[in-house]
Amino acid sequence: MILFPFIDYWWLYVAFTALVVALLALDLGVFHRKAHEVSFKESSIWTAVWIGLAMVFNVIFYFYAKSEFTLNPRFAALENFIPAIQAKQLALEFLTGFVVEKSLAIDNIFIFAVVFAYFGIPKIYQHRILFWGILGALFFRAIFIAMGSVLMRYEWVIFFFGGLLILTGIKMFFAGTKPQSLENNFILRQLKKILRVHPKIEGQKFFVKKDGLVYATPLFLALLFLEMTDVIFAVDSVPAIFALTKEPLIVFTSNIFAILGLRSMYFMLAGVMDRFCYIKYGLAAVLIFVGLKMVWLNHAFGGKFPIGISLMIIALLIGSSIAASVWIDRRKRNVENRLFHCPN
């Protein structure tokens, strides 16, 4: 049973969307109105702000759900339905979904770095591309979530996407830490066939007019490439969160909050991403675990694998991969320092 169906709680979706639009307008129109290079300090503050907003929202949602479950006669008729316990369950599902989406979004951050390096995008213009890229990602994620809320009602769809997540995780695991290249990328080749491309960056413009013809700048190509790769990533991330909760409202809000902080997280991690090369193994393990939940674990536990245990397993997988990355990187640096140390 869906506790917050869209037809009855549409105003919640509208209110949340209006909040997101207002936050993005404040971000671009006030704090980042002028193009500038985002510092580590600024990006760290914004990362903390976006994560903090997600946690505040979760607390507010918990108390609202508890009140709604207590006062609404529709829930009073349900057997074994305890408002406080159910509200806590939903809050845990939001938190787990947020952690999963935030973790999977790290893969997007590596793509950001590769794309910006390939197109030679100066740091001063990267925020503008990421702002519009994430705005487009929010739109496409909303469509995917709406489709998922309908399709995930069919058991064969759940098994299909569960199997897809497992295969994707296995593929990512064996892909390992190989560096990515865009030289022969199919999407990029097709974009260059369709668009007139201006070879130089003209400030923060996406298009320039030369001899009566409109040309796309490298900034626009980078933006389009990021949008298309996010659509591909959504095929994994949206089913992953539906494995944790059946509530479209939680899927929508946790997904959006995870995406909103991507820009600041990218600028915060841009200088140290090479030290987290083993995190891909943790992400691969998360995809495999979530896929197993869809095809086996949920059924084995009476329709719902405990969300608290899911959160602990996911946090352990991601945390251990980060710890391994830091430890191995530190060992390599210590070895390099000993090799290149010149005694007096």
pLDDT at position 65 is 95
Residue 98 is assigned to a structural domain of this protein: yes
With 0-12 / 13-18 / 19 or more C-beta atoms within 10 angstroms meaning exposed / middle / buried, residue 154 is exposed
Residue 184 is assigned to a structural domain of this protein: yes
- Work out the number of other CB atoms within 10 angstroms of the CB of residue 44: 15
Residue 340 is assigned to a structural domain of this protein: no
Residue 178 is assigned to a structural domain of this protein: yes
In degrees and rounded to multiples of 5, residue 214 shows phi and psi of -95, 130
- Global pTM reads 0.83
| Angstrom distance (rounded) from CA 196 to CA 219 | 13
pLDDT (average), residues 213-226: 88
Tokens at 44, concatenated: 């760290």
Quote the longest CA-to-CA distance of the chain.
82
Q: How many domains does the chain have?
A: 1
Yes or no: say if 288 and 169 are a contact pair by the CB < 8 Å rule.
yes
User: What are 209's strand-pairing partners?
Assistant: 214
322: amino acid identity, one letter: I
Q: Residue 69 above 80 pLDDT?
A: yes
Q: Summarize pLDDT for 82-132 with one digit per residue, the tens.
A: 899 999 999 999 999 999 988 887 777 878 887 888 888 888 888 888 888
Residue 1 is assigned to a structural domain of this protein: no
pLDDT at position 284 is 86
Residue 282 is assigned to a structural domain of this protein: yes
Q: Which of 64-73, 177-186, 238-247, 319-328 has the highest mean pLDDT?
A: 64-73
Residue 152 is assigned to a structural domain of this protein: yes
Q: Which of 28-37, 57-66, 151-160 has the highest mean pLDDT?
A: 57-66
Q: Summarize pLDDT for 278-314 with one digit per residue, the tens.
A: 888 888 888 899 889 888 888 888 878 888 898 899 8
Residue 225 is assigned to a structural domain of this protein: yes
Print the domain residue range for 134.
6-335
